[in-house]
């Protein structure tokens, strides 16, 4: 049963049920095309796959159709923050998102339990009401030790069936539980990449990759923080991220990975995970350094999971940090690092819904019953 102890339940208005009654398919899905000149370093050994900067093909492309404090109910926060991430308007590069990009983010969802199904159903309601173009899976896609092949039954039980009502692409990153008991069985990650070929919704061309909106105004940088915990392929990812960030002409830059930079959950802040700063494979110092060097001040938003709760922080180092790791279970806040949160909840499973339009960001946390718990609007 999901942990419901601790924290404060934040309740909002239940949305009208409007399910998307579209079943999932299993047709072959082509690998997204390479975008621009930036390419990621190739994996080695059993990993084997070559990474790339990607623009989704039309069947995978995100549509761009135009269309508080902890414990408060239905909180809404509005802010305006100067952004250094936007390009010079004299260059002809995007000066905002000229379309509308809308997506949901599920983290630590891979249990195949009742809570995961309820969160998925709530997301169907929200997407029917407010619109969704695609979803992000933030890692720990298959508890407890990942999958053993691309034909593993868990793909059906913990992905295809729970999300059968969400007929959209799911862009995927890996978490520590996707890499086996010690989180360093690298071959297991390759199976999730391979599954891209067998599902018409699962999109994971490599361990790290990028994709953009149709307008090019928003770019997503999907990286593998789980490998960083063991100092595996860190330099390859650093080289890739430096190249992609430098080459990007997108106004909106969204970084996505499993491990948080800031968190009041039991894992805590990068560099001090579990309250053990002295052991790099536990503390997450490489994750912290990566975010410090490439995400802070370069991306407006970083979305992660790992701690099984929902949190939003006011901008730190020029970036908004969201934790959406309660998509199948919850865990209590610990407040080891005592980060000041704009809002947080550790009692209710749920997910994050985001809309980007022009210079405006709307980020909304919903619970597993479809209640709106907290909404942030910001002009960047």
pLDDT in tens, 1-18: 333 333 322 323 222 223
Give the model confidence (pLDDT) of 226-262 as tens digits: 999 999 999 999 999 999 999 999 999 999 999 999 9
Query: Is the overall model pTM greater than 0.95, yes or no?
Result: no
When pLDDT is cut at 50, 70 and 90, the band that residue 173 belongs to is: very high
pLDDT reported for residue 93: 56
Structural domain contains residue 5: no
Share of the chain above pLDDT 90, in %: 74
Residues 6+ apart with CB under 8 A from 181: 144, 145
Q: Cβ(62)–Cβ(133) under 8 Å?
A: yes
CA dihedral 351, 220, 286, 331 (to 10 degrees): 0
Structural domain contains residue 164: yes
Structural domain contains residue 28: no
Structural domain contains residue 165: yes
SS3 assignment, position 290: helix
**Spatial distance between the Cα atoms of 339 and 337, rounded to a whole number of angstroms:** 6
Structural domain contains residue 1: no
CATH no. for residue 226? Answer: 3.60.21.10
pLDDT reported for residue 95: 81
Q: Cβ(284)–Cβ(292) under 8 Å?
A: no
Q: Cβ(24)–Cβ(201) under 8 Å?
A: yes
Structural domain contains residue 49: yes
The total number of structural domains in the chain stands at: 1
Structural domain contains residue 159: yes
Does pLDDT of 62 surpass 50? no
Tokens of 377: 């609007």
Q: List the domain range (segments joined by +) for residue 348.
A: 33-379
Structural domain contains residue 343: yes
């Amino acid at each position: 049963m999901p942990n419901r102890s601790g924290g404060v339940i934040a309740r909002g208005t239940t949305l009208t049920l409007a399910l998307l009654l579209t079943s999932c398919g299993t047709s072959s899905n082509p690998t997204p095309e390479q975008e621009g000149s930036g390419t990621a370093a190739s994996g080695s050994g059993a990993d084997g796959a070559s990474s790339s900067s990607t623009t989704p093909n039309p069947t995978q492309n995100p549509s761009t159709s135009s269309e508080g404090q902890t414990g408060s109910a239905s909180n809404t926060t509005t802010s305006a923050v100067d952004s250094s991430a936007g390009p010079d308007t004299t260059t002809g590069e995007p000066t905002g998102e000229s379309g509308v990009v809308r997506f949901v983010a599920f983290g630590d969802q891979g249990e195949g339990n009742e809570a995961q199904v309820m969160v998925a159903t709530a997301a169907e309601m929200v997407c029917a009401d407010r619109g969704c173009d695609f979803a992000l899976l933030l890692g720990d896609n298959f508890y407890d030790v990942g999958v053993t092949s691309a034909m593993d039954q868990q793909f059906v039980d913990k992905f295809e069936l729970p999300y059968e009502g969400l007929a959209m692409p799911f862009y995927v990153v890996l978490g520590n539980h996707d890499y086996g008991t010690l989180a360093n069985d690298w071959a297991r990650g390759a199976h999730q990449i391979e599954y891209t070929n067998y599902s018409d919704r699962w999109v994971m061309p490599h361990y790290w990759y990028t994709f953009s909106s149709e307008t090019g105004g928003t770019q997503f940088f999907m990286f593998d923080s789980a490998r960083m915990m063991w100092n595996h392929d860190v330099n390859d990812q650093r080289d890739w991220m430096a190249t992609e960030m430098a080459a990007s002409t997108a106004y909106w830059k969204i970084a996505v990975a499993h491990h948080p930079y800031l968190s009041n959950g039991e894992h805590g802040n990068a560099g001090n995970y579990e309250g053990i700063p002295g052991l790099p494979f536990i503390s997450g110092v490489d994750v912290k350094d990566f975010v410090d060097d490439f995400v802070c001040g370069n991306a407006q938003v970083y979305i992660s999971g790992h701690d099984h709760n929902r949190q939003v922080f006011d901008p730190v180092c020029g970036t908004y940090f969201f934790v959406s790791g309660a998509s199948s279970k919850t865990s209590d806040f610990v407040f080891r690092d005592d980060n000041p949160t704009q809002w947080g909840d550790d009692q209710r499973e749920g997910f994050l819904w985001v809309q980007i339009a022009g210079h405006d960001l709307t980020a909304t946390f919903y619970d597993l019953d479809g209640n709106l718990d907290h909404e942030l609007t910001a002009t960047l």
